[in-house]
Amino acid sequence: MKQQLFQKTTVRLTAVYLAVLMLLAVVFSIALFRVSVSELDRNYVHAVDFANNFVGFRLDPQLADNYLSDRTLERDEGHQHLIKQLVVLGAVILVSGGFFSYALARRTLEPIEEAHMSLERFTADASHELRTPLTTMRTEIEVALLNPELNVKESRKLLESNLEEVDRLSILSERLLTLARLDEYELPHENVAVSELVSKSIEATHARAAAKDVTLKKKLSGAASLATVQGDEASLSEALIILLDNAVKYSEKGATVIVEASTRYKSVLIAVKDKGIGIETADIPKIFERFYRADQSRTRANEHGYGLGLALAHKIIDLHTGKIEVTSTPGKGSTFTVLLPLA
Ligand code: ADP
């Protein structure tokens, strides 16, 4: 259905491009025809003048007639030849223009088609992710309601479990909304102090780290502690919190996560280092895709998530003309590095 719509639009756009091209070709041909005809006619007028004034022709009118009819023939043939050439040129433009217009229409529509397909994939993934916790909650509630002797302890357990799912749903919807917001609005550009940015992000992750007995350490070089970047503080902080949250999530209990900041040329480098489970080399190019979660049994079994965090962090850093990179060794840990241009 969608494929058909894109095919139809391609054909329509090809027709529009071709019509514009042919219109230009016709206007150009008419102009060329007029100029050439006036040139031919001018030569003919010269010939007629010559025939009228040449003394030899006055003495021999037959010769003058022959001369003039030759020139008339020449002029008429010139006109016909010109028309033929313009018709051939028009046909060549029509055929090659048809191919060219089709190629151009495909090129114009390709990014729109790709964006459309990615949006469809995104919507399908998002609805799947939204359905899963809802189904879990529904099943738990239904089972509880079927139990006529449901006691307070069991009810509490059910409510706690439901609350967990609700929390997960709110994180998911918040991330989905932020992703959509980032697509639509331009981010504010303010001066953001790197030191404050790192401190605030650590503070925001502190409770989750403490729950897992993970220590968060901040190490700033002298230059980095004075550095500022241009951008939206809330979004940049969100990106760092995602990296810190992941570092905590994928580390063992009691581990240490270090946030290091330094400057290099005209950039500031913020690295989040953990000694957690690490990422397989094959997964590294995919972890920034929306909804991608590395399929390590430990990742999925122990830690909840939707695979949206890194996609969001990547987008935020991209919007700040920065870069986000990762180096990781499975079983040894990962380092996510954010590079941002200095203000
Ligand atoms: P999730 O909600 O699953 O954490 P993310 O987009 O934040 O989603 O991360 C995508 C995947 O990248 C995760 O599922 C995990 O497999 C991997 N990953 C991200 N950060 C780390 C890390 N610090 N250590 C190990 N694996 C990580």
Ligand 1 surroundings by CB, under 6 angstroms: 242, 246-247, 250, 274, 276-279, 287, 292-294, 299, 305-311, 334
Helix (H, G, I), strand (E, B) or coil at 65: helix
Helix (H, G, I), strand (E, B) or coil at 147: coil
Q: Which residues pair with 337 in a beta bridge?
A: 271, 325
Report the distance separating Cα 145 and Cα 111, nearest Å.
51
pLDDT at 296 over 60: no
Q: Which residues pair with 229 in a beta bridge?
A: 192, 342
Q: Which of 261, 283, 273, 281 is nearest to 196 (CA)?
A: 261
Helix (H, G, I), strand (E, B) or coil at 287: coil
Identify the band that residue 49 occupies on the pLDDT scale cut at 50, 70 and 90: confident
pLDDT at 301 over 80: no
Q: Which amino acid is at 87?
A: V
Distance 293 CA to ligand 1 centre (A): 6
Distance 324 CA to ligand 1 centre (A): 14
pLDDT value at position 8? 92
Give me 49's structure tokens.
């003048």
CA torsion angle for 211, 214, 220, 225 (degrees, to 10)?
0
Beta-carbon count within 10 A of 338 CB: 25
pLDDT at 252 over 60: yes
Positive or negative: CA dihedral 314, 320, 321, 324: negative
Protein residue closest via CA to atom 8 of ligand 1:
307
Distance 122 CA to ligand 1 centre (A): 18
Protein residue closest via CA to atom 12 of ligand 1:
287
pLDDT at 112 over 70: yes
Name the residue of 174, 243, 250 to mutate for ligand 1: max ligand atoms within 8 A of Cβ: 250
pTM: 0.70
Helix (H, G, I), strand (E, B) or coil at 331: coil
Give me 236's structure tokens.
């940049």
Ligand 1 atom nearest residue 308's Cα = 6
CA distances in angstroms from 225 to 189, 229, 257, listed in the order given: 20, 12, 19
Could you give phi then psi for residue 334, rounded to 5 degrees?
-135, 155
**Residue 29 · residue 90 · CB < 8 Å:** yes
Distance 321 CA to ligand 1 centre (A): 23
pLDDT value at position 302? 57
Report the distance separating Cα 128 and Cα 138, nearest Å.
15
Ligand 1 atom nearest residue 305's Cα = 2
pLDDT at 282 over 80: yes
pLDDT at 297 over 80: no
pLDDT, averaged across the chain: 90
Beta-carbon count within 10 A of 101 CB: 21
Distance 250 CA to ligand 1 centre (A): 7
Report the distance separating Cα 269 and Cα 227, nearest Å.
11
Distance 139 CA to ligand 1 centre (A): 28
Protein residue closest via CA to atom 21 of ligand 1:
246
Rg (CA), the chain: 37
Distance 287 CA to ligand 1 centre (A): 7
